[in-house]
Structure 1
Amino acid sequence: MNPEQNIQTDKEVLVKVEGLSKKFCKDLKTSLWYGVKDLMTGIGGSTNERMLRPKEFWAVKDINFELRRGECLGLIGHNGAGKSTLLKILNGLINPDAGKVTIKGRVGALIELGAGFNPILSGRENIYNNGAILGFTRQEIDQKLDAIIAFAELEEFIDMPVQHYSSGMKVRLGFAVASQLEPDVLIIDEVLAVGDLGFVLKCFKTIDHILPNTAVIFVSHNMPMVSRICTHIILMDKGMSKFNGSDISSAIDLYYTRFANNESNIVYDDNSIALEAITMPNTKQFDGIYQLSWNNDLNLSVRVKLREEEIPIFKFTVFDKELRPVALLEPNCKINNLEIIDTILSFNVSHKNIQLSKGVYSLNLSIESKKGSPLLRINNIMAFQINHEMNVWQPFLLQSEYSNNKVKL
């Protein structure tokens, strides 16, 4: 075992989850009836092996992990995967039906917007309340009070009732309390998505500062954020763990697989043009996704059927894994060498040395007349993946050369 492994092993385990499961019932009336039956039989939710009854489902099923001081666990998965239920169990808001949770130290949590705040109390009073819940004395909170208020940027509103706060103000106050008091375990749900960009960047700077002495559990649909701070990741689907490990890029690729398909999504069509085929010639596919290595050429082969004799303008937009437009292939506005043969226009589009960073991307196609009138718009006409050994969350990995500088600076 090398020294780094020894250091990792010596770090204190702050969160240990063993075989954690939680079931719910889809129908309220049936759920109440099951509750009465369980109370009468003395079973309750304590049995670990009880099968699901009609209308019941597993919201969380057999989750296991350990989280040490200095580590950040990313919980990812699509809506309904069980992430919020798992967080509520970890925070003690609901009890599991099976399994065991062991947490050492003070726990700070931002699970739901405004959760833990008394709406009729002021922001200042809520700081003391939340600090007391976390286990801090009034003296300890007094020492941190000014820093909390300053971080939340609420100096003018700190004595106003929280019920009059905006959603962004509640997020700022909640994160300020949870982070500035530096708990042993910090649980962060998607609430950071409510904050503005400046505050989010400040939050991540704070997480970087406290992480060496804290164990962080971070839930987000924003994969660049996840890849930036997480050391471990669990991908959940229908309550179960589909991936559990430290290979962040592999888990994120699995997360995005759900969005990758070749189904056309026609947004607009005036019936003057029809897309008959689009492929990446001489390019291998895996699960319907074209595979390119970083710095390869991107080649498209396109065939359309036209009702008019005028050659339209083609615009191919590249979207990243977050469905954000990151690039536009140069349109054919100045290209006059295309030719229509028997109402069919076949042509190739190429982009040399593509330097998008590793990940899955999709193409949208917009076809317009030379006057700018829309003719056809199709979303997600094709998915392709850029493969590279380096996983970065920036959209581009630009080729660079390094050499000795012979000039004195």
Structure 2
Amino acid sequence: MYSIEVDHIWKKFKKGESFTTLRDHIDYFLKRSLDANYVLAKKEFWAVENISFKARKGEILGIIGANGAGKSTLFNILAGIVMPTQGSFKIHGKLAALIELTAGFHPDFTGRKNVYFNGAILGMTRKEIDRKFDDIVKFSEIGDFIDTPVKRYSSGMYARLGFAIAAHVNPEVLLVDEVLSVGDIKFQHKCMKKMKDLAKKGTTIIFVSHNLAAVQSFCKRVILLERGRMVEDSDPEEVIALYQQKVLDSEIKDLQESFEDEDEQESKEYCSGQFNFVELYSSHNKKTDVFEFNESITVRFNVQVYQPVERPIFFVEIVRLDGVVCCEAVGKAQEFSLDVFDQQGTFNVCFSNTHLMPGVYFTRVSLWDEKFLTPLIMASRSVFKVESEEIDHSESVFHSQTAWEKEP
């Protein structure tokens, strides 16, 4: 039996319009009442396009994607906050949604009053709330602050009380957004355990998060959204791997574009010369931007100087995407029998046995004079990948061969 049925949902907004919550609607009409010139942009866009899926009773379904992918819009449609422009959806049974930290709370009410206020919004009777009140307070770990106005609560306290109320409604469908990310790790684990218990009892859970580790360990199925469209719906490992690759490709593209912008800046900043090209070659002397693990990497570059450089020093670095310098090579004048460099030339340096972990890197090349105080020319170029079928991605820089043994 399906608890959630989504059938070809589309949602259109206008540029400048952000009616994703009730608060957005109120803010807009307040601004219109105070400023007659406040108008929305005319250009329309689809925040969600042609999304269909079903979720079974007791299923835990994760939804991931970059900012602007449509996660919040889809979430708010399912929560009943906004209606789709086209398409339809059905929620079978009682629904509880954790949307914003302050949603369903009155800031001037105490935590105690807000338990009743929020509980009533979620469909609980006063008798139900009376019966579950102590369990809600105990789970939230609010303690004596239950009689303090919630406007004095921290974001973590808001999240704890909000989740405690929603979880004790015993909903057939529970929608959870990034609201839990503000809590401490201990309480997050407590919430995960509670949601797993609810799922075992038949609650269908939609879990929207940027925390991929939590999604992979918690969800049995994951949907990936991209620019409002559903691009994948499968098991967590497969979908998360696809998403990570898309993020990586996007970062590589951004990095390459930033290098192009830097080219223009460098031509103005470094008046001593320029790097005409920087290329990478494999161990088979093939130009490439993809290397196998532990394959030798040859950096080939052409540099041109506008004035003579005495005893030049060439500096080549391999840098990880996050800026960590993984290895470097220094080429001094005596290695090239080059006391004075006064024209242009092509140079090669081979990095062998690098043991670089699978990931994305780029090269940074520079030319210095013998004083080695500041670069005469510098350029970041040649984004490349290191791949391996046997070694997973890691935060470490290098992979070392290790041998384990247990002493008798």
Q: Indicate which of 199, 203, 216 corresponds to 2:205.
A: 216
2:31 corresponds to: none
Deviation of 1:172 after TM superposition, in Å, equals: 4.1
Deviation per CA, 1:73-124: give whole Å up to 9, x if none: 3323333332211110111111223323222344332323422221221233
2:50 corresponds to: 62
1:238 corresponds to: 227
Alignment of structure 1 residues 178-217 onto 2, 5 Å: 178-179=166-167, 183-193=171-181, 195=182, 199-200=184-185, 202-204=187-189, 206-208=191-193, 210-211=195-196, 212-213=199-200, 214-217=203-206
1:297 corresponds to: 295
1:174 corresponds to: 162
Letter in 1 for 2:10: S
2:76 corresponds to: 88
Letter in 2 for 1:203: Q
> What CA distance in whole angstroms lies between the structure 1 residues aligned with 2:274 and 2:167?
55
> What CA distance in whole angstroms lies between the structure 2 residues aligned with 1:200 and 1:139?
29
2:249 corresponds to: 257
Q: Indicate which of 317, 320, 323 corresponds to 1:318.
A: 320
2:26 corresponds to: none
Secondary structure, counterpart of 2:13 in structure 1: strand
> What CA distance in whole angstroms lies between the structure 2 residues aligned with 1:399 and 1:71?
41
> What CA distance in whole angstroms lies between the structure 2 residues aligned with 1:289 and 1:109?
49
More displaced, 225-234 or 59-68?
A: 225-234
1:328 corresponds to: 325
Asked if the contact 1:72/1:232 (under 8 Å) is kept, the reply is yes
* Shift in alpha-carbon separation, 1:15–1:298, aligned structure 2, 3 A: farther
1:266 corresponds to: 262
1:147 corresponds to: 138
Letter in 1 for 2:299: S
> What CA distance in whole angstroms lies between the structure 2 residues aligned with 1:316 and 1:256?
18
> What CA distance in whole angstroms lies between the structure 2 residues aligned with 1:372 and 1:174?
58
* Shift in alpha-carbon separation, 1:146–1:302, aligned structure 2, 3 A: farther
Deviation per CA, 1:328-359: give whole Å up to 9, x if none: 31334799986466554532334534334xxx
Q: Indicate which of 341, 347, 350 corresponds to 2:349.
A: 347
Question: Please, what TM-score do these two structures have when normalized by structure 1?
Answer: 0.68
Asked if the contact 1:233/1:251 (under 8 Å) is kept, the reply is no
Asked if the contact 1:149/1:158 (under 8 Å) is kept, the reply is no
Deviation of 1:127 after TM superposition, in Å, equals: 3.0
**Structure 2 spans left out of the alignment, 5+ residues:** 18-41
Deviation per CA, 1:220-274: give whole Å up to 9, x if none: 3444444443433323233222223222222432344333323315398541564
Alignment of structure 1 residues 155-174 onto 2, 5 Å: 155=143, 157-174=145-162
RMSD over aligned CA atoms reads 4.2
Letter in 2 for 1:107: L
Alignment of structure 1 residues 8-157 onto 2, 5 Å: 12-26=1-15, 55-69=43-57, 71-136=59-124, 137-150=128-141, 154-155=142-143, 157=145
Secondary structure, counterpart of 1:84 in structure 2: helix
Letter in 1 for 2:252: A
Letter in 1 for 2:327: E
Deviation of 1:210 after TM superposition, in Å, equals: 2.5
Deviation per CA, 1:153-198: give whole Å up to 9, x if none: x4464433222334444334434444566644332323445x26xx
1:43 corresponds to: none
1:282 corresponds to: 282
Q: Which of the two has greater helix per residue?
A: 2
Asked if the contact 2:68/2:227 (under 8 Å) is kept, the reply is yes
Higher Cα Rg: structure 1 or 2? Answer: 2
Q: How many residues align?
A: 352
> What CA distance in whole angstroms lies between the structure 2 residues aligned with 1:329 and 1:366?
14
Question: Please, what TM-score do these two structures have when normalized by structure 2?
Answer: 0.68
> What CA distance in whole angstroms lies between the structure 2 residues aligned with 1:368 and 1:229?
51
* Shift in alpha-carbon separation, 1:216–1:64, aligned structure 2, 3 A: same
Deviation of 1:389 after TM superposition, in Å, equals: 7.2
Asked if the contact 1:14/1:215 (under 8 Å) is kept, the reply is yes
> What CA distance in whole angstroms lies between the structure 2 residues aligned with 1:118 and 1:216?
26
